[in-house]
Amino acid sequence: MSALSGKVQTVLGPIEPDQLGRTMTHEHLTMTFECCYFPPAPGDETVAQAPIQMKNLFWLKQNPYSSHENLLLLQETSAVREELHEYRKEGGGTIVENTTQGIARDLPCLKQLAKDTGVHIIGGAGYYVDATHSEATRKMTVEKLTDIIISEVLHGADGTEIRCGVIGEIGCSWPITDSEKKVLQATAHAQTELGCPVIIHPGRNPGAPAEIVRLLQEAGGDISKTVMSHLDRTIFDNGDLLEFAKMGSYLEYDLFGSEMLNYAYNLEVDMPSDSQRVKALAFLVQEGYEDNIVIAHDIHTKNRLTKYGGHGYSHILKNIVPKMLIRGINQTQVDKILIDNPKRWLTFK
Ligand SMILES: CC(=O)NCCS(=O)(=O)O
């Protein structure tokens, strides 16, 4: 049993789980997504290179990954701070900040934001997808990776004493790479030692979540303390969803507010609307999975901030919760999704 047992670890230190309140389990407050830049379609080069402005907001909503400027969320700390004040006003308590190594994690910035706004912020340990792994990371043994992840939770990360409270988002591609498999094994080993929460970014294929869960299980991971992210762009068939749900992880719908016609990273995917996401939640609740669902917006580009006409960090609290109630998810179930499930997941064993 570690000293963290029964606690949640925020960037300002351990707290009691009851202090968390309503929690978004997958957000970014500062990061770069340059690793995933997607070149604009022929003819769109000019708008892609233009500064973000009113007249290109719709283009940006449809092509968020084709503007370099849009990928630099780390330039927007003032706007994010304002949004966090708003989030508090709307009844938000906690944000899990999923930025890991490879996409410019900035724990001192998170600590300052937590101090300035009173929002509990939880930082993420570990590594994003293979495309961001350094050569040194790729050469590391599972043991070395495990030591680094454990140290980021117990002692602090990036040369600071600021400690991470979850492992993840751990990035996986499709097909999964050898380096990502090693990081997954290290994640499971670190989780066994720490009894901590884990959160996974799966590759963009319906088979990816189950393959990852099997890899974690083989390495001794605790699936009941693991969140599978981005299900809204990964599993579309209800039968497949129920098969995956049986494996026992938390089921995360975390792209609320993101609606687009063509999903650049996988044109096979029809990115759902928010109404379709709520429908998926209602289906899972009806099938008995209300204790496994968690939700968020996964803001990772500028255009999703209210400063740029986006929905912001309070969209779920302001707009999605009322829609959930309309669609038959009752208040107790909403509270499970926003409060009880995140609390159970985030509390160290
Ligand atoms: C930061 C991050 O990984 N967001 C997920 C983007 S995706 O398009 O759903 O993979």
pLDDT tens digits, 52-93: 999 999 999 999 999 999 999 999 999 999 999 999 999 999
Confidence of residue 2 (pLDDT cuts 50, 70, 90): confident
Whether residue 158 is annotated as binding a ligand: the answer is no
Using alpha carbons, select from 168, 246, 174 the residue that is nearest to residue 206.
Answer: 174
Q: Which of 66, 255, 299 to mutate to test the pocket of ligand 1 (most atoms within 8 A of CB)?
A: 255
Q: Are 190 and 175 in contact (CB under 8 A)?
A: no
The CA distance from 303 to 127, in Å, is: 25
The CA distance from 300 to 257, in Å, is: 12
Using alpha carbons, select from 88, 151, 78 the residue that is nearest to residue 118.
Answer: 88
pLDDT digits (tens, 9 = 90+) for 272-320: 999 999 999 999 999 999 999 999 999 999 999 999 999 999 999 999 9
Whether residue 201 is annotated as binding a ligand: the answer is yes
Whole-number Å distance, alpha carbon 181 to ligand 1 midpoint, is 19
Q: Which of 27, 101, 230 to mutate to test the pocket of ligand 1 (most atoms within 8 A of CB)?
A: 230
Q: Which of 30, 36, 265, 268 to mutate to test the pocket of ligand 1 (most atoms within 8 A of CB)?
A: 36
Whether residue 169 is annotated as binding a ligand: the answer is yes
User: What ligand 1 atom has the least distance to the C-alpha of 33?
Assistant: 1
> Which residue's C-alpha comes closest to atom 9 of ligand 1?
230
The CA distance from 21 to 338, in Å, is: 8
Using alpha carbons, select from 142, 130, 123 the residue that is nearest to residue 188.
Answer: 142
Whole-number Å distance, alpha carbon 299 to ligand 1 midpoint, is 9
Q: Are 218 and 258 in contact (CB under 8 A)?
A: no
Look at residue 256 in the predicted model and tell me its pLDDT.
98
Pairing of strands 293-295, 92-97: unpaired
φ, ψ at 42 (rounded to 5°): -55, 135
Whether residue 120 is annotated as binding a ligand: the answer is no
Confidence of residue 37 (pLDDT cuts 50, 70, 90): very high
Mean pLDDT of the chain: 98
Confidence of residue 271 (pLDDT cuts 50, 70, 90): very high
Rg (CA), the chain: 19
pLDDT digits (tens, 9 = 90+) for 163-188: 999 999 999 999 999 999 999 999 99
Q: Which residues line ligand 1 (CB under 6 A)?
A: 201, 230, 233, 255, 265, 298, 300
Tell whether pTM > 0.90. Answer: yes
Whether residue 147 is annotated as binding a ligand: the answer is no
Look at residue 1 in the predicted model and tell me its pLDDT.
57
Token output for 83: 């949004």
pLDDT digits (tens, 9 = 90+) for 197-226: 999 999 999 999 999 999 999 999 999 999
